[in-house]
Each structure stands twice: as structure tokens, then as C-alpha cells.
A and B are shown apart, each in its own frame.
Chain A
Amino acid sequence: MSTDAVLYDHPGPRARARNRILTVAFGVLLLALLFWIYRKFEEKGQWAATLWEPFTKSSTWTDYIWPGFKNTLAAAAVAMVLSLVFGVLFAVGRLSDHWWLRVPSGVVVEFFRAVPLLLLMFFIFFGIPFVTEKPMPNFWAVVIALTLYNGSVLAEAFRAGVRAVPIGQSEAAYAIGMRKGQVMGQILIPQAARAMLPVIVSQLVVLVKDTALGYIISYNELLQLGVNNLAANFGNVIQAAIVAAIIYIAINATLTAVAGWLARRTRRSGRAPRATTTGPAVLTGAGGEPGAGA
């Protein structure tokens, strides 16, 4: 249901007046709060030019923030791809007809969903080298931990998505002679992924944020370089953290916006094949441009 319109009547004069009063009252309250925060910051000298000045120098950006930003994105990007792969594999594993595939996949997914990422990262970095006798680069410790955790969450999302696909879809696919793998790969997973797109994207946002934990094992990401090291040079830990927070919000807002655009696109292109599902066009149309019909 569309929340905006249905929950309340179109406001009449009295409702409009009341809304205006609420708007003004709440607005004033909010502004007062913001002003108070501003004054408190001023009182403590947090607006002092010397603390903010470093951010006007290009070297601050090229030496700390940009390398940190790149490392954050690198770890996030690799972990995103790997956790999507991990998610699909283990979702399929959990849906398998074979118990020897289903049970271990279930155990892995449930375990990694339940363990705090912080513990996982710490263990991979300090514990695994005891077995492999090789150092664990901190980049991979971050990526592996993120993959295991977010991949497990995504596996559950895919599984729920697959189970939400109407049973008639797979029955029809079997009826036209598709094998199990084909049904999963060509019928169920694509629909599940589309249905679960909001969940997948919010999990990817979680993943980007979780790269921030990498600083605990001294991976040079945005928090390590942009907050800890920067502040060690300029003594402006609060200011550096504010700048870092803005960057994170920007990355994630962008990600969410891209996802929204993608969702609209897939919804549009989704309509085209549905209209021709019954026709033979689907078989030949596989090579067609996705979304070209819209």
C-alpha cells in the first residue's frame, strides 16, 4: 500500500493548521538542538581553523583520505563479488536434494551468520597463519571475513528468494525438459535475485560499512589512514572522523541510488519478456539487449 496517501485523509483547513503548528514547533526544536550542538562545539574549540585547515590542503587528501578511500573500495569491491558468488553457491547447496550437500552448507551458513565479524576478522588474521604457516595479508583477512559473513547472509536471502518463486515456474521448466541445474540457474536464481534486490543491496551497504573494521587489524582503509594516522599528524581526531563519516554516507547513498536505478531498470525490462513468455521469442531472444524493450 502506498503509505503517503492512504493513512490519512487529504488535510482539511484544521488539519493543515495543525500540521503547520507541528512543522514549526518541531522545526524550531530541531534548529535549537542543532544550534546548541554548534555552540558546544564552538565552546570546546572544535571549529578552530587549525583543526579544519588540513582538509583544505591537497596533501591531506592525496596522502591519507584518497589512499584510504581506494583501499576501502578495493576491499569492498572484491568482497562484494566473492560474497555474491558465495551466497549463490551456498543457497543452491542448502536447496540441494542431497543431504551431504544440504547439511554442511546449512552448518556453514548458520555458523558464519552467528559469529560477530570482529571476532572472525581477528581470528582469520591471527589464527589462520598458524595452520598455513604463511602470513595472512590483512587485505585478504578483511575480504575473507567479509565474504564469509555477508556471503552467508546473502545465501539466506537467495534461498528465501528461490522459495518465493511460484512453484509453477519450476514445474513448467521441468515440463519443457530442463534439468535441475538449468532450472536453478536459468529460472529460479534470476528471479530470486531480482525479488531480493533490496535485501542484497542493503547487505552490500552493510559490507561497505564493515570494511571499517579492517583498521583493527591495521588494514590501511579509510578509518586507519583518514582518522587514526591523519589525527596523529594534526591532532584533529573529531574533525577527521566527521569527514570520514561524510565519505561513507556518500559511498553508501550512491550505492543505494544505483540499486534503485537498477531496480527500476530490471522491473521495466522484466515486463518485456513476461509479455512474450508464451511465444518462441524467449528462446531466440536470449541474445537480445536486456531492457531494450522498454
Chain B
Amino acid sequence: MRITRLAATFGAMAMVLAAAACGGDDSDNASGGASTASGIVGKAAGGKLTFGVKADQPGLGLQTGSTYSGFDIEISKIIAKGLGVPESGITWKTTVSANREPYIQQGQVDVVVATYTINDERKQKVNFGGPYFIAGQDLLVPVASTITGPESLAGKKVCSVSGSTPAKRIQTDYKDAQLQQFDSYSKCVTALAGGQVDAVSTDDIILAGYASQDQYAGKFKVVGKPFSTEPYGIGVKKDDTAGCNKINDILKAAAADGSYKKAWDDTLGKSGKAAPELDVSKLTNCS
């Protein structure tokens, strides 16, 4: 499927025919409806799955030595269990925002649970189960800050991770703000602590994770005015409709039997925030 897209790219460049572009899309779909044996349900039967998760986000996906912890990790475990994979059969692999789609497309990982926002652009490349959580872009500021929301960012320095959706949103929607980009949020938070930037912007849940770290206790606050909706999905291969449906079934069951709430309480819930309701009516249709 990728090779056809590539071929289409070059083909179209050579032919200079507008029609070639449409042809490219068609062949995509034609080769896309492949068998489900290569999907995660088939792979899970072998007792092993590779999960792509974040490694540097406290509360969500944080690597401590060779073990990972956080809400995304607990969700991954629920999915694995639902697919009949024992915890010992899980391989964790660190992903960063920029390589999640390629990782799924190339098969480096089977499932991605990594603060992964469902959007139309990504839907063209991967299939999403979930959402298992609804986040929103927000701002992390020093406790004494006068910033009250994205409107008051004019002239301020805002930090986010390079190439991420929050960074792009600041760039396009809040042009008056100056954007500092780093490759990790821990660097942004360090710059915030040092006063080099006035705010860090990304999903509220990620910010809350940093704000509640011991060494920053009492120094930062999350503004609490989300200015976007980020439904977190679980990414699988584009053609793996069966796997996606299965994930949604597992999430439904997890919402019903309390394991979803437990996953929250064990991780992000420790900050005192009550577990959110998993709205099963909002789950994707996996098409």
C-alpha cells in the first residue's frame, strides 16, 4: 500500500496529469482492504503485542528504567488483556509525537496508546479505536502569572514540542504569541521554571502531570480554559477494522466493569481529580 502511494507520487510527477492524483487515491483503497489476519487480533493470538507509548509524560506514559507507568500504560494493559495477551507478552516501545503514524504504518508497533489525538488527517493513515479520554489544549503557567487564557498570550513566550499539534495551533491561531519549540516537554517545563517562557501549551492532562511532579509542586498551575478538543484514540493499522472494533468492545467492557476507573485512580487520579466518564456512545465506528 505504501509502495503504491509512492509509485503514485512519482508517477504523477512524471505524467503531470491531474488524473493521476485520483488514481493514486483509488489504488490506495484497493490495496487497503487487506485481510484481518495481519491485524492485531491475529497477532494477539500469538500471545505477543508491541505497544507504542510515550516515555516522558508523567502520569500518562513515563519510563522509569525498563518499566513504564501512567494512564496510557494502564489502558494498554486493559487492551492487551482483552485481546488475551498476558502482561509478560507486552513489548513497550517509546514513540514520540512525530513518529507515531510511521511506526504503525511500518509495523514497528502494533498498537499506539500515546496521547494520540484522533483527527481527520491522521485517520487517513491509521485507524483509531476509542476515544478513551477527551483532553483539551491548555496552558501551564507560574502560579503568579497574569495569563488567563489563550487571548492573553499576545507578546508572551509560549513553549511547546516542535511539530506537535499544539505548537501548530499557537502558530496559526495565536500569531501574537512567540513560540519556543523544543523536542520534549521536560525542556519546556524547565524553561518555564527558569522564566525563559511565560507558558507551556499542550493538552491539559499532560500539563497536569508535570504540575503535580514533586519538584514543581506549588509552582505551576494549569489555566483551566481548554481551547481545543483532543479525543485520545488508540491507533492501529489503517486496514485493521476488526482490531479497531475489538478495541472499542474492550473499552466498553472496561467502562462497565470498573477497570477503566481503576486505571485512572491508579495513575492520574492520584492528583485528586475524579475519574472521567468513558462515553461509549462517542466511540469511533472504525471505518
Q: Which residues of A contact B (CB under 8 A)?
A: 44, 50-51, 59, 62-64, 67, 125-126, 129-131, 133-137, 215-218, 220, 224, 228-229, 231-238
Contacts and interface: CB of A to CB of B under 8 A. Distances in A.
B271 to A, nearest CB: 16
B187 A51 contact: no
Interface class of chain A by DSSP: helix
A217 B64 contact: no
A237 B186 contact: yes
Nearest to A122: B98
A228 B64 contact: no
A228 B106 contact: no
Contact of A237 (B3, B66, B187): B187
Contacts of A216: 183
A44 B94 CA distance: 32
Contact of B99 (A64, A130, A218): A218
B65 A135 contact: no
Interface string B53-97: 001111000111110000000000000000000000000001110
15 contacts: A59-B65, A62-B65, A63-B65, A125-B102, A134-B107, A218-B95, A220-B94, A229-B63, A231-B186, A231-B190, A232-B56, A232-B63, A232-B184, A233-B64, A235-B215
A137 B94 CA distance: 12
A220 B96 CA distance: 12
A218 B99 CA distance: 9
B189 interface: yes
Contact of B106 (A51, A135, A220, A235): A135
Contact of B2 (A67, A129, A218, A232): A129
Interface in B191-247: 193-194, 213-216
Contacts of B99: 125-126, 217-218
A59 B66 CA distance: 11
Contacts, number: 84
B152 interface: no
Nearest to A225: B63
Given A229-B56, A235-B216, A237-B190, 15 more contacts: A63-B65, A125-B99, A130-B3, A131-B6, A134-B106, A135-B107, A216-B183, A228-B55, A228-B56, A232-B57, A232-B58, A232-B63, A233-B58, A235-B215, A236-B215
B108 interface: yes
A174 to B, nearest CB: 48
The 4 closest A-B pairs by CB, nearest first: A63-B65, A135-B106, A232-B56, A235-B215
B77 to A, nearest CB: 20
B58 A130 contact: no
Contact of A51 (B94, B102, B215): B215
A130 B216 contact: no
A44 B96 CA distance: 30
Interface residues of B, number: 36
A134 B213 CA distance: 39
B106 to A, nearest CB: 4
A233 B184 CA distance: 13
Given A232-B186, A235-B186, A133 B63 contact: no
B209 to A, nearest CB: 9
Given A64-B65, A229-B63, A232-B58, A129 B102 contact: yes
Nearest to B105: A129
A68 to B, nearest CB: 11
A228 B184 contact: yes
A262 to B, nearest CB: 37
Contact of B186 (A62, A135, A228): A228
A64 B56 CA distance: 13
Contacts of A44: 194
A233 B189 CA distance: 12
Contacts of B214: 50, 235
Interface string B99-116: 100110111100000000
Nearest to B107: A135
B55 A232 contact: yes
A234 B63 CA distance: 12
Contacts of B190: 231, 235, 237-238
B253 to A, nearest CB: 31
Given A136-B106, A232-B57, A235-B215, A130 B6 contact: yes
A231 B58 CA distance: 11
Nearest to B52: A218
Contacts of B105: 129
Nearest to B195: A44
A232 B3 contact: no
Contacts of A218: 94-96, 99
